[in-house]
Amino acid sequence: MYIIAGLGNPERRYDGTRHNIGFSAITALCDAYHISMDRREHKAVCGRGYIEGQKVLLAEPQTYMNLSGESIRELVDYYKIDPESELIVIYDDINLAPGKLRIREKGSAGGHNGIKNIIAHLGTQNFNRIRIGVGEKPKGWDLADYVLGRFSKEEEPEIREALGRVVEACRVMLTEDTSAAMNQFNG
């Protein structure tokens, strides 16, 4: 079984913000594979289903971004999965242009507080991740204001396309491996 977790903040006022792109990716996966997010467990809203024959648990931690590790740790422990090979975390990256993807098998938090918290709770940096570019913070802007803001009309088509590529990247990661997805989607 795989756990695919999209990071974001739970309140409705954060829907559609740059920081909630991980939740948007989970919605795209639900739509593509007809998975209902109908469970609340381990501080997350979850849905169970299959992606190309692989059993998955889709999760949206409800702990707010900066405490995502609390929920992820509980899910990993309860389902007894290996975070190094059976966990995929999807989240926003301000260092990538809007809509660009970067897939990695491991790495530092890179300044992302949600990832920093997951690393602290799991005790490892070795887990698969899909970073979705949300664009660089404009000069003079507060970082929190920027990531909690919404995409511009010009960026929306790129973001919709990126979410489709995330669905495909997850498919490749589950049916082939992370290296194959990196070769196909990191560019």
Catalytic residues: 19
Question: Residue 12, Cβ neighbours under 10 Å: how many?
Answer: 7
128, 87 contact by CB (below 8 A): yes
Q: For residue 139, give the 3-state DSSP assignment.
A: coil
C-alpha distance across the termini of the chain, in Å: 29
Question: Residue 150, Cβ neighbours under 10 Å: how many?
Answer: 13
Closest CA to 52 of 72, 36, 29, 75: 29
Q: Which whole-number Å values give the CA distances from 171 to 40, 49, 97, 140, in the listed order?
A: 24, 13, 23, 39
- Cα gap 128→113, rounded to integer Å: 17
Backbone angles phi, psi at 11, to 5 degrees: -70, 150
Question: Residue 99 carries which DSSP code?
Answer: T
